[in-house]
Structure 1
């Protein structure tokens, strides 16, 4: 029986080529297994200090390291030693060093103080850390594009987009007539020396002031905020034009839609039809020039407005969701003839739904203690309420529960002609 034999080539260390091929195949298999574990499946659950399972926790962390080789590596080693996984990393080179932003997944039994302490010992300075959530898993470019899309569809989204881009911050808008506020601010905005305040030229000629005392802004954050404001300026006035037609308990048909400065004349006409008492309850005292209030209330820079319109086209109700720094105010006005028909409650429910969509934790209404209609409407929300009374002025604060928001209204998406 003839046996076919094949000579095997050898390498300098005496091993055959076939042996090397086997090693390479085994190494490739190990790499595939490792890669699948990293990217195809969830990583193994971290274990606690006692060997038991511990739920993982997401953290956002920012620290400054020296701009020299090995600084970031030392930081990563310190995190790895504590079984902390780096999910994302952004670096911001500055004159005083490099600011590194991390999204971390750490064992649940590690506290913020322990993590920041380890980072400090590894060379990190000025470390800031706070809990993160699933929204932070979206990478920065995707998040910015999403915010830009929302801003493009609705001018009222700009303050919200800035807040979601920059985290916990206070945003104020100053009108264009305030020359002192505009002084010294270049066309492309300014980041103050402390890096905790940025001033941006608003599209309508005013100033948008963003403050974050607890954490300085990076040049990247400033550039992204400036880009959102520039996008808003280029697109001009816009508001979703969808509307909902409803039938009131008495059989009247009304239309609820978004409103803006183009509804100024209709809003003024409604104010003229309202009684002095109705206006006094809404504005907490005698009302002077309606323009003084309505120019502000109808501007998308300060919030969102819903209008209630009759079949004849008259505006008979207005509901405002106003951005007040880090707070959110709700305000209602319904024409006398159309009161006690459920319009106020309908507006209030929709405004609260919009506040939830904007990730507001609570909303408040300021009225007079004698305004039983507003009190009843707030109680009708079924939310936890807090009441504060001072010299006849009543502040009702509603804490928004985490209940998922229903599908967006028809006026939440498309642009208005």
Structure 2
């Protein structure tokens, strides 16, 4: 026997589900779980069925049509599809409590593998877009069928939970010890705008960083920026700065979006520094997404980062954002330009 997930639209009339089940039973197909979603066109029946291994997806689609179903979508399923919706929702909520940064993956699991794409701008769209607590928005894309109102409501509820956890200040890790949280990822860090009172902690973070980490960030061999230079980095008139604060209160991440002069290739320059002990945990990507969302809010169509060609972690981070990029060489350095907003969208907002 083989498990299949079958999704079809039926008329919302008495006996329609029974007729559909009877048509499938003629092929020895056993329905194991059913969800019924009311929609304008009737109802969407979404169920997992156990079928003989010899049956094909095309034969199942034909049987659904013979039973009164329309626009049937049939695809292979596994045992995870047998979990009832409340149980699955509670499991995903527990996952978010442990790590609010996993919201895109949790949404995909909630919506049966739908693609979840992150975008810096939170422009409205006919498609489902949810606010990402990290900044920007999450676009839900289901290629084979439209989301029903109940599925949309579930997605909004899950996103609301993630936003509440992030807004709580500790990313939902208050019940975990500092060593456990440190093993977590970006969820173990509290993100906020720095103030002048943070200059000492930011300087200490630079002192804890290795020479190579500081060199990759500033493209120079200085031990660390001076107090005046650090104050410039967090000056809100000159750009947007964010720090990541560990559970022990230490600043372990600093990110900057500095406004550029008119002669620069883009309106803003991106810079990131993650303390060595906290690298390779997704903090750089989480910080970059927040700063790019701030760039979109400021209607910056593009930002750039000046990167040494051997700075592979930064180059991989920029490439992994899923946004269009362009690289240009200039005296042994790479200027990587990231398209934060589509040109047409940016022009429409100006």
Q: 1:315 Cα shift?
A: 4.8
Q: Deviations over 1:90-135 (max 9, x none)?
A: 1122221221101112222222222122212332211112222222
Give the number of equivalent residue pairs: 258
1:64 aligns with 2:5: no
Q: For the structure 1 residues 223 and 374, does the alpha-carbon distance in structure 2 shift closer, same or farther, using more than 3 Å as the test?
A: closer
Unaligned stretches of 5+ in structure 2?
Answer: 220-231, 255-271, 283-304, 317-325, 335-350
RMSD over aligned Cα atoms: 4.9
1:223 aligns with 2:153: yes
Which residue matches 2:178?
A: 243
1:134 aligns with 2:76: no
CA distance in 1, matches of 2:62, 2:96: 39
Q: For the structure 1 residues 231 and 315, does the alpha-carbon distance in structure 2 shift closer, same or farther, using more than 3 Å as the test?
A: closer
Q: Is the 1:173–1:208 contact (alpha carbons within 8 Å) kept by the matching residues of 2?
A: yes
CA distance in 2, matches of 1:212, 1:78: 27
Q: For the structure 1 residues 334 and 79, does the alpha-carbon distance in structure 2 shift closer, same or farther, using more than 3 Å as the test?
A: same
User: Which of the numbers 30, 41, 60 marks the counterpart of 1:115?
Assistant: 60
CA distance in 2, matches of 1:118, 1:231: 40
User: Which of the numbers 176, 191, 201 marks the counterpart of 1:261?
Assistant: 191
Q: Deviations over 1:302-346 (max 9, x none)?
A: xxxx9698xxx755679xxxxxxxxxxxxx9555xx6xxxx57xx
Q: Is the 2:205–2:251 contact (alpha carbons within 8 Å) kept by the matching residues of 1?
A: no
Unaligned stretches of 5+ in structure 1?
Answer: 1-55, 183-190, 246-253, 282-287, 299-305, 319-331, 352-365, 378-388, 394-417
The correspondence of residues 33-72 of structure 1 with structure 2, limited to 5 A, is 56-72=1-17
Q: Is the 2:114–2:141 contact (alpha carbons within 8 Å) kept by the matching residues of 1?
A: no
Moved more, 87-96 or 261-270: 261-270
Q: For the structure 1 residues 261 and 372, does the alpha-carbon distance in structure 2 shift closer, same or farther, using more than 3 Å as the test?
A: closer
Q: Is the 2:3–2:49 contact (alpha carbons within 8 Å) kept by the matching residues of 1?
A: yes
CA distance in 2, matches of 1:202, 1:373: 27
Which residue matches 1:399?
A: none
CA distance in 1, matches of 2:308, 2:49: 48
Which residue matches 1:90?
A: 35
CA distance in 1, matches of 2:50, 2:183: 48
Q: Is the 2:116–2:140 contact (alpha carbons within 8 Å) kept by the matching residues of 1?
A: yes
CA distance in 2, matches of 1:116, 1:294: 54
Q: Is the 1:256–1:307 contact (alpha carbons within 8 Å) kept by the matching residues of 2?
A: no
Q: Is the 2:216–2:307 contact (alpha carbons within 8 Å) kept by the matching residues of 1?
A: no
CA distance in 2, matches of 1:174, 1:373: 23
Report the secondary structure of 1:156's partner residue: helix
The correspondence of residues 172-183 of structure 1 with structure 2, limited to 5 A, is 172=118, 174=120, 181=123
Q: For the structure 1 residues 280 and 168, does the alpha-carbon distance in structure 2 shift closer, same or farther, using more than 3 Å as the test?
A: farther
Report the secondary structure of 1:161's partner residue: helix
Q: Is the 2:233–2:241 contact (alpha carbons within 8 Å) kept by the matching residues of 1?
A: no
Which residue matches 1:168?
A: 114
